Amino acid sequence: MKKAFIFPGQGAQAVGMGKDFYDNFDSAKKLFDEADEALGYSIKKMCFEGSEDDLKLTANTQPAILVVSVIVNEILKSEGVTADIAGGHSLGEYSALVSAGTLKFSDAVVLVHKRGQFMQEAVPVGEGSMAAIIGLDDETIIKICAEASAVGEVQAVNFNCPGQTVIAGKTAGVEAAVEKLKSAGAKKAVVLPVSAPFHSTLMAPAAKKLAAELDKVALLDAAFPVAANFTGELETSADDIKNNLVAQADNPVKWIACVEAMKNFGAEIFIECGPGKTLCGFNRRIDKKIKNLNVEDMDSLKKTLEALGV
């Protein structure tokens, strides 16, 4: 059975993540040390004992989740479990590209740290926000966002699963859209605790800065296909991957399309590598027949290896 490794994005972080692996695997120690050296500060300390507020800062969250996700990928490989295909949600796409050999780990850690900084700098805190819309079709959400943009720019930015779409933009636009979407029949509209309107057109300055950073990094063709958030299609070409990473910063994440592309490739088992089970939850809503496993600590690693008969 073909296996897809999928990697979580921002929001999955928790203090203590990765400690289990650090205590049990030399490869985890090595990768944490390598990340600390590349960043010039201790992401390890932040993951294990840092305050939740520090870990929630976008420039810290992104490398922290990437490090833990790549560690899981390495541990699974050492147990003889390898990916046939990969995908990641937003930040998770960078973890997927490390797993496919496109991006060097130390380069990816620094890139996502800078990506977090660029995203935060693009819109001053308080001027932008995001909200999850539950129980309304995408067409209605897109239409209402266009109407609410008269008050402040807002758009649908994460197509996560049927019945859950995230919108982002100027705070006034998001607030207006939330009220209209509730009136249109949304079961819930939850403003998210994030510090910037990720993946909206307001992130254009971040995309521009990210392009300049990606120009300094060597990208290789992927060893196996990786689903691109920007296109929702499978990519292996280094040039296409680079263009997609730039576009991904200020364009919507097409997670439903990414999962469909991995399924069409033949993936039957999806293993979420990294903190949390958010993507497993999305996948169940996309297709109940998908077999979902996750690895975030020693307990879930044991269960996943048992489920795979390893």
Q: In angstroms, how far apart are the furthest CA atoms of the chain?
A: 56
Identify the pLDDT of residue 95. Answer: 98
Does 128-194 carry CATH code 3.30.70.250?
A: yes
CA distance 280 to 262: 14
Q: What pLDDT was estimated at residue 52?
A: 87
**The pLDDT value given to residue 92:** 98
Give the other-Cβ count within 10 Å of 94's Cβ.
28
- Give the separation between CA 1 and CA 289, rounded to whole angstroms: 14
Q: Judge contact between 295 and 72, C-beta under 8 A.
A: yes
State the pairing for strand pair 291-295/188-191: unpaired
Q: What residues are annotated to the active site? A: 90, 199
| Same topology between domain 2-122+202-307 and domain 128-194 | no
The burial class, CB within 10 Å (0-12 / 13-18 / 19+), for 141 is buried
| Under 8 Å between Cβ of 189 and 136 | no
Q: Would you state the pLDDT for residue 168?
A: 97
* Residue pLDDT tens, the chain, 310 long: 999 999 999 888 999 999 999 999 999 999 999 999 999 999 999 999 988 888 888 899 999 999 999 999 999 999 999 999 999 999 999 999 999 999 999 999 999 999 999 999 999 888 999 999 999 999 999 999 999 999 999 999 999 999 999 999 999 999 999 999 999 999 999 888 787 899 999 999 999 999 999 999 999 999 999 999 999 999 999 999 999 999 999 999 999 999 999 999 999 999 999 999 999 999 999 999 999 999 999 999 999 999 999 8
Domain 2-122+202-307, CATH: 3.40.366.10
Q: Do the beta carbons of residue 166 and residue 131 sit within 8 Å?
A: yes
Structure tokens at 19: 């400690």
Counting Cα atoms < 13 Å in the Cβ hemisphere of 167 gives 39
262: enclosing H helix or E strand? helix 255-265
- Per domain, the residue ranges of the chain are 2-122+202-307, 128-194
Mark 200-225 as b/e (b = at least 16 C-beta within 10 Å).
bebbeebbebbeebbeeeebeebebb
- Enter the pTM of the model: 0.96
